[in-house]
Homo-oligomer: A and B are copies of this chain.
Amino acid sequence: MNRINNFNPGPAALPLEVLEQAQKEFANYRELGMSVMEMSHRSKEVERLGEETVQLLAELLELPAEYRVLFMGGGASMQFALVPLNFLKPGKVGHYILSGSFSEKAYLEAQTIGKAAILASSKDNGWRKLPVIDEPLGTDSAFVHMTTNNTIEGSQFRSLPDTGKVPLIGDMTSDMMSRKIDFTRFSMFYAAAQKNLGPAGVTVAVIHEELLKECAEHIPTIFNYNTYVQHQSLYNTPPVFSIYLMKLVLEWTERQGGITQLEKQNSEKAKLLYDVIDASGGYYKGIVEKPFRSMMNITWRMLDEELEKRFVQEAVINGFEGLGGHRSVGGLRASAYNAVPVPACKELADFMADFQQRNG
C-alpha cells in the first residue's frame, strides 16, 4: 500500500497500526460473529469498551479522580453551545479569550444563549500573537473559555491563564493528548476526536465534579452534562465505532510511551518544519510570531498565491496531502498531529528546502 504523507488538519492521520487492527476485526469483533457496530450499546462488551476507554484516557492524562470523562456526539461546535447552556446563568457573564477563529465562534455562539464578553483578544493582530489577560475577573464571571491550540492560525498557548476561582474551560480539540499540561487548572476541557484521538463523530468532555454541580437544571435532558455523567455516556446510543477506534488510538498512544514521548516527537516534528521556514531567508514566512507557534499546526505564507498554489500542487504529486491553508486565511499549513510520523515531517522539510532551491 502506497500510504500518503497525511498533513490534514482534521479529520487527520490515524496510526496505521490502528487502522490495520480495526480492519482485521472489522466484520467479526473478538470472534463474536458480528462487527462492533452491530452490537447493542447495552451489551457487556460495549459497556466494557466504554469503561476501558474512559480509564485509559484518564491514565494517559493523569486525571485526578474528581474529573468525569464523557463521550458525546456533535463535535466541538456543539460544545460551544452546551458550555453556556449549562454554565452561563442569568446575571453572570461568560468570559472568552479570543485567540483564533474557533475561539471567536465559541464566543459568538455563547451570545445566542446569555451574556458573553471578550476577556482578551489578538484579533487586531491578525491572530499572529496570543492575547494577554490584563483585566482582573469580576465576581460576575461564570467561566473563562479558551482555545488551547488554534488549528486554523497555528498558535498554541504554552501556559494557562490564572483565573483564580473562576472556572477555566478549555477547547483542546487540536492538542489534547499531544503534550503534558496541568489539566487540574481546568474545571472542564473538551476535544472533538478527529485530531489526536480518533475519527470524527465523538467528542470527549472532561468535567470536574465541582463544576458539574453548577449545571443548569431546566435545560433539555440531552444537553445537560449530568445526564451523561449519570448514565456513563449511555443515556442514548453513543457513536460506538468512534469510541472503539478512540480506544485503539489510546492503546497506541500508550505503546508509544504516552504523552511524554509523543510530546518529544511532536516537538521534533514541528522543529523540522519551523527550521526550514526560519532558514529560508523569508521565502517561507511563518504566520504566527515565534513565541506563540503551535506544535500541531505549522502555518506559513509564500511570496504570492500563485507560488503557494504551485507548492500545494507539487506537494500532492510528491505524496503530501492536506497542505493548503484554511480557506479563511489562505497560505500553507502542515498539521502534524500525534499520528503523523517523524519521517513524514522530515520528508516534507526536505521537499520544502528542495522546492525553494528550484523555485527560489
Chain A residues with a Cβ under 8 A of chain B: 1-4, 6, 8-14, 16, 19-20, 22-23, 26-28, 31-35, 37-42, 72-78, 80-81, 85, 108-109, 112-113, 192, 194, 199-202, 218-223, 235-242, 245, 319, 321-322, 327
Contact = CB atoms under 8 A, between A and B. Distances in A.
Contacts of A322: 40
Q: Which of A16, A19, A319 has the most CB of B within 10 A?
A: A19
A112 B219 contact: yes
Contacts of A41: 11, 200
A31 B73 CA distance: 29
Contact of A23 (B16, B23, B76, B108): B23
A80 B31 CA distance: 36
A10 B39 CA distance: 8
Given A241-B201, A322-B40, A236 B1 contact: no
Contacts of A73: 73-75, 78, 201, 239
Of A27, A73, A192, A240, chain B has the most CB atoms within 10 Å of the CB of A73
Contacts of A32: 4
A218 to B, nearest CB: 6
A9 B237 contact: no
A34 B3 contact: yes
A158 to B, nearest CB: 26
B13 A1 contact: no
Contacts of A1: 27-28, 33
Contacts of A34: 3-4, 6, 13, 321
Given A19-B26, A199-B239, A200-B237, 19 more contacts: A1-B27, A1-B28, A4-B34, A6-B33, A8-B39, A11-B37, A11-B39, A14-B35, A42-B327, A73-B74, A74-B78, A77-B235, A78-B222, A85-B220, A112-B220, A199-B240, A201-B241, A239-B239, A239-B242
Contact of A77 (B13, B14, B219, B222): B222
A199 B22 CA distance: 15
Nearest to A339: B38
Contacts of A37: 11, 14, 199-200, 245
Interface centre among A2, A10, A42 (most CB of B within 10 A): A42
12 contacts: A4-B34, A11-B41, A14-B35, A23-B23, A23-B27, A75-B236, A76-B236, A77-B236, A81-B223, A109-B220, A200-B241, A201-B202
A345 B265 CA distance: 54
B11 A38 contact: yes
Contacts of A11: 37-41, 237, 240
Given A40-B322, A73-B74, A220-B109, A200 B22 contact: no
A8 B201 contact: no
A19 B39 CA distance: 14
The 8 closest A-B pairs by CB, nearest first: A201-B239, A4-B33, A73-B73, A81-B220, A77-B236, A37-B199, A19-B27, A23-B26
A297 to B, nearest CB: 13
Nearest to A10: B237
A321 B29 CA distance: 14
Nearest to A16: B27
A322 to B, nearest CB: 6
Q: Which interface residue of A14, A74, A109 has the most chain B CB atoms within 10 A?
A: A74
